[in-house]
Structure 1
C-alpha cells in the first residue's frame, strides 16, 4: 500500500481559507492525501466561519470534522510529519514553527474573507471565490506525479500554483 501524502493548510484563524482547502483536497482525493488545517496560536476562531459552511454545502463537499486548531498541535514532536505545508496568508510565513520532517512549503495567498468587515452576503460570495480558486489549484496538485517524482521539481510545481488566477 502506498503512503498517503500529508498536507497541512495554514491560515490565521483556521476558520475559512484553510478549512475550505482541507475539505476540498479531502473531497478530491482522500485515498492519496491525509489533509489537516491549522491556524496561528492565540488567533484561532471558536468555530468554522458560516461562509465556509455555506460554500462547502453549495459545492457538495463535507465540512471537516475538526474544530479550528493551533499549528502547535501539528508541529510538535511525535506528530504526523507533513510532506507539504501550504500557507494561505502571507503574514504568517515568517511566524510559523519549524515543521517536523522538513516538508516542502508553498505560499498560496488568499484574501482574509473571514476577517474582513463585510456583511454575510459578501463573506459568502468571497468564500465561494476562494473555494473555486483553491479547487483549480488542488485539482492540479492531485494530478501531479507525487510519488517517485523529483522532489525539487515537485516543490517548484506546488509553489508555481500560487501564480494561478
Structure 2
C-alpha cells in the first residue's frame, strides 16, 4: 500500500452518512488516510445535510469542503486509487461502478436518518451515527495495514460492520 491509504465512503445522496464517515476518518487518520466520499449519480443532494454539519461541529471535526459528488468522479482511471471502499447504504451496493485497482470493500449499513423528517430527530440521530462511525473507524485506523495479509485486513474491515 502507498503512504496514504485511500478510503472511499459511499451513500445514496452523499450528504450525511458518507460525509460523517469521511470527516471522521480524516480527523482520526493522522495523515495516514485520504478519506473521500461519493453518492449515486442522479440521487445526490444539493448540499451537505444540516444535521451532518451540526454533528461535525459538535464533535469539533472539520466539514469536508466539497459539494455532494457522484461516484463517477472517483471511479475514473485518473482518480486516486482506493485501497478500501466502504458502503454505508445497502441500496447502493449492487449499483456501484467497478472501482479502479480492485479495492477491498465492505458494507457498513446505516439507516437513512435524513428521511426521519423532524429536523430535531434527524440532528439527534446524526450525532448518534457519528459516534457509531467513530467507534468503527478508531478500530480501523488501529489495524496494521502495512505488511499484513490483505485477506486478513479485508476480513477485519468486513467484521467491523457487525459492531453495535
Q: 1:6 maps to which residue?
A: 6
For structure 2, list consecutive stretches of 5 or more residues without a partner in the other structure.
Answer: none
User: Is 1:160 matched with 2:142?
Assistant: no
User: Is 1:88 matched with 2:65?
Assistant: no
Q: 1:154 & 1:117 partners in 2: Cα distance?
A: 34
Q: 1:48 maps to which residue?
A: 48
Per-residue deviation at 1:103? 0.1
Within 5 A, what are the aligned runs for 1:1-165?
3-114=3-114, 116-165=115-164
Per-residue deviation at 1:79? 1.1
Q: Please give the TM-score of this superposition, normalised by the length of structure 2.
A: 0.97
1:37 is paired with a residue of what secondary structure? strand
Per-residue deviation at 1:118? 1.7
Per-residue deviation at 1:60? 0.7
Structure 1's consecutive aligned runs of 4 or more residues displaced over 2 angstroms after TM superposition are none
Per-residue deviation at 1:4? 0.3
Q: 2:43 & 2:30 partners in 1: Cα distance?
A: 28
Q: 1:127 & 1:87 partners in 2: Cα distance?
A: 17
What number of residue pairs does the alignment pair up? 163
Per-residue deviation at 1:29? 1.4
Q: 2:31 & 2:47 partners in 1: Cα distance?
A: 27
